[in-house]
Amino acid sequence: MSLETTVMRFMSYLDKINMLNGVLATLYFDASTGAPNGAADSRAKRMGFLSSEIFSMQVSDEMKGYLDILGEQQDKLDEVVLAMYRVSKRVYDKKAKTPVELVRRFSELKSKAEVIWRDAKNNNDFNAFAPCLQELVAMNKKLLSYREGDAHPYDMLLDDYEEGLTMQVCDEFFGKLRASIVPLLRRITESGKQNDTGLRGIPVDIAKQREISRMIAQKVGYDLNRGLIRETEHPFCSGAGRDDVRITTHYYENEFLSSFYSIIHECGHAIYEQNKKDEIANTILDRGISAGLHESQSRFYENVLGRSKPFWDYICEELKTYLPEGYSKATPDMFFKTVNEVKPSLIRIYADELTYCLHIMMRYEIEKMMFSDGVDVYDLPRIWNEKMQEYLGLTPPDDARGVLQDVHWSAGLMGYFPTYALGSAYAAQFLAYMRREMDVDALIRKGDFAVITAWLTKHIHSHGSVYTPAKLVGRIAGEQLNADYYIEYLTNKFSAVYGLEAGN
Ligand code: ZN
């Protein structure tokens, strides 16, 4: 068979996988946004069937045949086909040797674990979840033992969500953050300055909030013709390729800023997905490259753009036309201070921009222990509380607000947390690069977000999964993840917000 024919067959085989993935994503969105409860069992069967079809195709003999041939002729492949080969090979290598029976048992354990975790959290009873967590870690290690190579199990997990990420990279990254952010936070809390401007807690009609969502989504550049906004308990973005990218939010009558920022955050994910180049649309490359880079886009729009002073200069008056009387005296400065209030808190998902990375850092350290030191899971509440005290100066009153707060571990997501902090750091790094070429603040103050998005599209969005994260980032300015940009960004921003003298 000629190389050309192999490539054609390979691409049409990938097309099928991609279409099944698209159907699965649509079913998942449907299941999360109001599909009938009574259909839960049959829906779970359909989704399970699709997942196993996709899995079998990814590791089939036919796939191996294509990968073997293309692997020998990589130098003859164009950039897009080469990327398809690389992405498929990566999946194949991770999954092919894993016994299907073990995968099935792991997914059963995960569904059981989520229920047990939820009950344990509701009853504030860590010991009820501990055996299950122990089993999740053990089974995860077992699964990883079937993979090629002799990488450390936790490095393998990190690599699943962020290709190339290792503990070595994380240790250096978090080490730098710890050395800068912990003292900065202490200076802020010791300054005794309060940022409460009285803007929180004034009710805004949910109907009005829905209008605000559409307004802000369109302004930041989310194409609603190829997207839609629904409501769920926890906001998310999912899609079936660049022409169908959906987001959700959650409205709180007394806290309209919560949904306001959820929308901007999810729009960041969605804009990434919507702006891929034609060449890769509706192929397996039609998706963001990694969890960390995806998060860099959501956090760029949410924090770098949306929590900046120029943004509030731009949006304040227009936003007030949607808001009730209680906001009539609000100024850009008041909003800016409100949305950048630093307050160490127990719960990660409510953390402010500065303390957020400390929540991630402690989770990273704990996960590393789970996969390295053979830590006794029954010790986790104590370890958790010690780290909480060390980094944030707080001790959780109970495990529900401590070690039990996140769904991730029960869902089998281990090695995922670091990507949140990586995302924030990449966002600050991209801002620094962008500033070399344009007056970002002036553009934001004019509401000219299209120029900013065009920069992100050129360097990041358009490429989908064509490049590895390292290659994609390296192409922009010749360097890799660098925590210094993030530290500088946080230091400048929060010194300004809290009127601290630089450096003392
Ligand atoms: Zn996100």
- Contact present, 10 and 84 (Cβ < 8 Å): yes
Q: What is the pLDDT of residues 420-459, one digit of tens each?
A: 999 999 999 999 999 999 999 999 999 999 999 999 999 9
- State mean pLDDT over 138-165: 94
Cα of 311 vs centre of ligand 1, distance in Å, is 20
Cα of 53 vs centre of ligand 1, distance in Å, is 28
* Strand-pair partners of 227: 245
Assess whether pLDDT exceeds 90 at residue 45: no
Give the least confident one: 42-56, 299-313, 471-485.
42-56
Q: What is the pLDDT of residues 327-382, one digit of tens each?
A: 999 999 999 999 999 999 999 999 999 999 999 999 999 999 999 877 999 999 99
Side-chain-side CA neighbours of 15 within 13 Å: the count stands at 7
Q: What is the pLDDT of residue 503?
A: 53
**Rounded-to-integer distance, Cα 405 and Cα 148, Å:** 34
Cα distances (angstroms) measured from residue 92 to each of 77, 96, 132: 19, 5, 29
Cα of 156 vs centre of ligand 1, distance in Å, is 22
Cα distances (angstroms) measured from residue 401 to each of 123, 148, 178, 341, 349: 11, 39, 22, 21, 11
Q: What is the pLDDT of residues 1-17, one digit of tens each?
A: 899 999 999 999 999 99
Cα of 298 vs centre of ligand 1, distance in Å, is 6
Specify burial of residue 317 (Cβ count, 10 A radius: 0-12, 13-18, 19+): exposed
Could you tell me which residue, 193 or 225, shows the higher pLDDT?
225
Can you read off the two tokens belonging to residue 496? Answer: 């300004």
Q: What is the pLDDT of residues 256-302, one digit of tens each?
A: 999 999 999 999 999 999 999 999 999 999 999 999 999 999 999 99
Cα of 420 vs centre of ligand 1, distance in Å, is 8
* Strand-pair partners of 247: 229, 237
**Rounded-to-integer distance, Cα 448 and Cα 462, Å:** 20
- State mean pLDDT over 210-215: 98
**Rounded-to-integer distance, Cα 301 and Cα 426, Å:** 12
**CB neighbourhood size of 47 (10 A):** 15
Q: What is the pLDDT of residues 382-406, one digit of tens each?
A: 999 999 999 999 999 999 999 999 9
Label residue 502 by pLDDT band (50, 70, 90): low
Cα of 119 vs centre of ligand 1, distance in Å, is 26
What integer best gives the mean pLDDT of the chain? Answer: 95
pTM confidence score: 0.95
341 carries an active-site annotation: no
Catalytic residue among 162, 266, 273, 295: 266
- Contact present, 242 and 223 (Cβ < 8 Å): no
Q: What is the pLDDT of residue 233?
A: 87
